[in-house]
Structure 1
Amino acid sequence: MLGDRLKKLRTAKNLSQQELSQKLNLNRGTYAHYELNKRHPDYESLKKLSDIFNVSIDYLITGNEHSNSPEEMWKEFLDPKTQIFFKDLQDAPEEKIDELIRFWEFIKERDKKK
């Protein structure tokens, strides 16, 4: 899960929750809830985390190291206006997330042809 990956990445960089939360401009409790899977970061926080840890947003959310979906896709998925449609995304099994990504990419390609 996302929280497990965040904790693993943070400890690999020898950062405390306090140090990382300061880099993210969050309070430590908010960040701690990310690691406990009690809260999910918004797009901006995920982007900062991916930059700090030098990993893709795909990896943070899905755990898939070999996938690199466009950041614009994640921005749309995680936008509060559209998140109601994808509220279960971050807790979904990886294969379902991969399927949803493929479906989204299909829709975008289809719309380009119109």
Structure 2
Amino acid sequence: MDFGDRLKLCREKKGYTQKFIAEKVGIKNNTLSSYEANKRQPDYDTLKALADLYEVSIDYLLTGDEYRVSSDEMWKELLDPKTELFFKDLKSAPEEKIEELIRFWEFIKERDK
């Protein structure tokens, strides 16, 4: 089950319509539909609002893990558009580039001590 499926399942378990949720969260109905179809991903604030409405954790919506509850601050940082773009690029990078990036980051940390 992926993010969109979990989102839709949560909505249906609560008996809510897409229109109701969209109004509550402050997004357009077609935006919510895109989330449920895995065509788009919500920003942190929208994701937090959805998790609160459905009474589940952000961890559950994103990973399906019902028992892990990471801090909201961690998710806010990871879902920041700048950070998200970095991780998106990193996921598709070859292993040697990732190792190079780690070495570069270690250099920066040492330099700034």
Q: Identify whether the pair has TM-score above 0.5, normalized to the shorter chain.
A: yes
Quick one: distance in 2 between partners of 1:84 and 1:13?
33
- What are the ranges of 5 or more consecutive residues in structure 1 without an aligned counterpart? 89-113
The aligned amino acid for 2:65 is N
Q: Hey, what does 2:36 align to over in structure 1?
A: 35
Q: Runs of 4+ in structure 1 displaced over 6 angstroms?
A: none
User: Cα offset for 1:85?
Assistant: 2.0
User: Cα offset for 1:86?
Assistant: 2.3
User: Cα offset for 1:87?
Assistant: 2.6
TM-score, structure 1 as length reference: 0.75
TM-score, structure 2 as length reference: 0.75
Identity of aligned residues (%): 53
Q: Hey, what does 1:47 align to over in structure 2?
A: 48
SS of 1:81 mapped into structure 2: helix
Summarize the alignment of residues 7-86 of structure 1 with structure 2, pairs less than 5 Å apart.
Answer: 7-86=8-87
Cα offsets for 1:34-86 (capped at 9, x unmatched): 00000001000010011101111000100000101111110000001111122
Cα offsets for 1:4-50 (capped at 9, x unmatched): 00100000111111111001111100010000000001000010011
Quick one: distance in 2 between partners of 1:40 and 1:87?
13
Quick one: distance in 2 between partners of 1:49 and 1:87?
23
Quick one: distance in 2 between partners of 1:29 and 1:87?
24
- How many equivalent pairs are there? 90
Q: Hey, what does 2:104 align to over in structure 1?
A: none
- What are the ranges of 5 or more consecutive residues in structure 2 without an aligned counterpart? 90-112
